[in-house]
Amino acid sequence: MTTLTISGLRVAVGGKEVLRGFDLTMNSGEVHVIMGPNGSGKSTLAHAISGHPGYEVLDGSVKLGDVELLSLSATERERAGLFLALQQPMEVPGVRLIDVLEAAGAEREGLAERMADEARRVDLRPELLHRFVNVDLSGGERKRAEMVQFAILRPRFAVLDEIDSGLDVDALGAVARRLAAATTEWGCGVLAITHFRRLLQELTPTTIHVVSGGRVVATGGPELSEVLERDGYEPFRVPNPL
Amino acid sequence: MTTFAESATSFISSRPNSALRARAWSTFESVGLPTTTDEVWRYAPLSELDLDRYAVPATPTLTPQSDFAVALGALAATVVRVLDGFLVDIGEPVEGVTVDLNPDLTTLDGDDPLERYASDAFALANVALCPATVVVTVAAGTNVDGPIVIVHSANASASFPRTHLVLERGANATVVEYYEGGANAMVAPVSEYRVADNASLRLVTYQRLDPTAWHVARTTGLLERDGRLSQAVLGMGAHYDRSRNDADLRATGAENELRTTFFGSGAQVHDFRTHQFHRAPRTRSTLLSKGAVADTSRSVYTGLIEIEKGAKRTDARQTNHNLLLSPDAHADSVPNLDIRENDVVCAHASSVGPLNALQRWYLESRGVTRSDAERLMIQGFFLEMLDALPPALAGLVEGDVALALASVPVSA
């Protein structure tokens, strides 16, 4: 078993501190959901731990097992076992997904077939993967295509930023089932970021974290979602120190 | 030892049309090779060009074609082989397609080539020294299934291929022109493409000559009413690679899409010149030039959009992006507009800069190393050019491009 430990993480974007001492610990095979209102720092967390340019880490640590991710390049973080699915997966014209996955270390032998199988598991037409990365794909198709990347790369932990945005109910179900299967197939830890509760109907979490003002303000089991359902985020809101 | 001039004189006297050829040769001699004081030749390493290193061959030098050319041919509807400018194989018969040799040296418009190419030394040399014109005609209304591949192999030290592609009214075809060979050689092709009313030609020119070659090419598209020429030019090889690609949009509704891309390494120079000439209403041109230069290589892109008075509702767009991969590489971009009509949409943009950092990060966050991410993105410039081709054939060219790029140190 491996542990992902985020401790005291402080991150600034454009000179403004957005994460202010973020702490979260999870084990492989678990499903954690981060919920919070817009602007609470959820996406910043996802981008900062995967090394997105433009996010300045001020302090803190993100460890995957014993490996400090924050001192690694984006490539090394993925290779250490971290995968990020983006809210809006990026187009890369001229580049094919199969070449990306091979360059990322996937076994070329049978790769196209494995990609096609994984595409079918999330109800994505496999021929869409022959296009350049995310080019001419709808928002939902891009997210399903990222699930194919995820399944081929088999990360130890996957961080999914706003996984449910742009997905209809059927697509969300397909993606959630794929993630859930990964927790048993290879013990993948899943950290899903959302501000919609409907994800929780599809993806059964081990733990829910409520984020407000750039830090975790409440952690609990699935019962926490009932509180959110009844009272919304307001009880969890912390005064903004700026 | 024979000089270039001696080999040329002997070649000319042995060919049909020797009077016209002799006139072209004497014009070539009086025009002389360009010099770098001439703005349009400013970046060419002309001081290295010694014509006496070259000789005009009387006959083609037969050599086996490369494995790549063979593989390309296997995926084609038909393969036309041209060796040192000489047509050696007209390929398999294809319904509605004829491949002929024309000893006549006039332009596709039937004009005197000395007028058309009056001050262009290399095109004049081509008129004088090409073995004959290779003419590929697609008959009216014919829709050719699969690409027509023309393999140009340069084995002699100098070759002057001359090609005319004619798509008659309503015809539809994809043509691949592939250039290989050319070690220590000069290759100076002249091509003209006529796209008649409602015809459509998708053309991919893949230049993969030896890194010691001088490649000086000139192409002209002649577009009739609602004719469409979609042309992709991929410059990979040669020491000096010059490609002048013109389009004459001479009738209403004609459309020209031109995409050029290049990759420069070592001390290569890629020199692209374009001229989109809008002479009729509702004509459209889109031009995208995208390339990368590494090591001490350099690139030049100079494009002119010219819109004649009366060419109302013309839409012309020109974009050029250059990528510098080393501090010693250099890229110049010179877009020009000459517009004599008000009712038009015209735009141009150019940039010299690094790769898109967010796209690169996205690939890195999938576990791809920085150098592989950059290589994939640069390779992508070329792959984007191949969408006219059937997937299997595009895949083959992609593999060849990847192979060519694999040996080059890339760091943006």
Helix axes B18-31, B4-14, angle to 10 degrees: 160
- In this prediction, residue B384 carries a pLDDT of 84
- Choose, out of A49, A52, A95, A97, the residue to mutate when testing the contact with B (most B CBs < 10 Å): A95
**Tokens encoding B149:** 């591949």
> What is the helix, strand, coil percentage profile of chain A, to 5?
35, 30, 35
Which residue shows structure tokens 């699935």?
Answer: A222
Subunit contact B367:A73, Cβ cutoff 8 A? no
Those residues whose C-beta lies under 8 Å from the C-beta of residue B212, and which sit 6 or more positions away, are B182, B183, B184, B185, B239
Q: Answer whether B52 touches A (CB < 8 Å).
A: no
Residue (of B137, B144, B147) closest to B74 by Cα position: B147
Those residues whose C-beta lies under 8 Å from the C-beta of residue A231, and which sit 6 or more positions away, are none
- In this prediction, residue A37 carries a pLDDT of 85
Subunit contact A132:B384, Cβ cutoff 8 A? yes
Those residues whose C-beta lies under 8 Å from the C-beta of residue A117, and which sit 6 or more positions away, are none
**Tokens encoding B31:** 């025009």
| B202 CA: distance to closest CA in chain A (Å) | 19
Kindly list the residues from chain B whose CB atom is less than 8 angstroms away from the CB atom of residue A53: 357-358, 361
Helix axes B4-14, B121-129, angle to 10 degrees: 50
Contact B33, B49 (CB under 8 A): yes
Q: What is the ipTM of this complex?
A: 0.95
Domain segments of chain A: what residues?
29-55+69-204
State how far the Cα of A24 lies from the Cα of A46, in Å rounded to an integer: 13
Residue A115, helix vs strand vs coil:
helix
Residue B222, helix vs strand vs coil:
strand
Sequence letter at residue A23? D
* Closest chain A CA to residue B369: A75
Those residues whose C-beta lies under 8 Å from the C-beta of residue A140, and which sit 6 or more positions away, are A166, A167, A168, A171
Subunit contact B380:A132, Cβ cutoff 8 A? yes
Sequence length of chain A is: 242
Nearest to B365 among A84, A105, A132 (CB): A84
Contact B247, B277 (CB under 8 A): yes
For the question of whether the overall pTM of this predicted structure is more than 0.95, the answer is no
Contact A195, A42 (CB under 8 A): yes
- For B78-127, the DSSP string reads EEEEEETTEEEE--S-BTTEEEEEE-----TTS--HHHHTTT-HHHHHHH
Strands A215-220 and A207-212: antiparallel
First to last CA, chain A: 39
Kindly list the residues from chain B whose CB atom is less than 8 angstroms away from the CB atom of residue A103: 363, 367-369, 372-373, 376
Contact B167, B199 (CB under 8 A): yes
State how far the Cα of A203 lies from the Cα of A190, in Å rounded to an integer: 10
Q: Which residues pair with A67 in a beta bridge?
A: A64
- In this prediction, residue A98 carries a pLDDT of 96
Contact B251, B197 (CB under 8 A): yes
State how far the Cα of B96 lies from the Cα of B170, in Å rounded to an integer: 12
Nearest to A75 among B359, B369, B382 (CB): B369
| A201 CA: distance to closest CA in chain B (Å) | 28
- For B344-408, the DSSP string reads EEEEEEEEEE---HHHHHHHHTTT--HHHHHHHHHHHHHHGGGTTS-HHHHHHHHHHHHHHHHTS
Strands annotated E in B294-381: 298-307, 314-324, 330-339, 344-353
Kindly list the residues from chain B whose CB atom is less than 8 angstroms away from the CB atom of residue A80: none
Q: Answer whether B379 touches A (CB < 8 Å).
A: yes
Instruction: Say which CATH superfamily domain A29-55+69-204 falls into.
Output: P-loop containing nucleotide triphosphate hydrolases (3.40.50.300)
| A222 CA: distance to closest CA in chain B (Å) | 31
Q: Along the 242 residues of chain A, how does pLDDT read in single tens digits? A: 899 999 999 999 999 999 999 999 999 999 999 998 888 899 999 999 999 999 999 999 999 999 999 999 999 999 999 999 999 999 999 999 999 999 999 999 999 999 999 999 999 999 999 999 999 999 999 999 999 999 999 999 999 998 888 788 888 888 999 999 999 999 999 999 987 777 777 888 999 999 999 999 999 998 888 888 788 887 777 665 54
> Which residue stretches of chain B have pLDDT < 70?
1, 408-412
Residue B25's H or E segment, with its range, is helix B18-31
Q: What are the backbone angles phi and psi of residue B312, rounded to the nearest 5°?
A: -65, 150
Count of beta carbons in the 10 Å neighbourhood of residue A53 = 11
- Choose, out of A49, A92, A102, A150, the residue to mutate when testing the contact with B (most B CBs < 10 Å): A92
- In this prediction, residue A231 carries a pLDDT of 83
DSSP state of B390: -
State how far the Cα of B31 lies from the Cα of B118, in Å rounded to an integer: 9
Q: Answer whether B391 touches A (CB < 8 Å).
A: yes
**Tokens encoding A41:** 């720092």
State how far the Cα of A193 lies from the Cα of A179, in Å rounded to an integer: 13
Subunit contact B367:A90, Cβ cutoff 8 A? no
Contact B232, B219 (CB under 8 A): no
- In this prediction, residue B351 carries a pLDDT of 83
Count of beta carbons in the 10 Å neighbourhood of residue B171 = 25
**Tokens encoding B72:** 């390309």
**Tokens encoding B206:** 């893949």
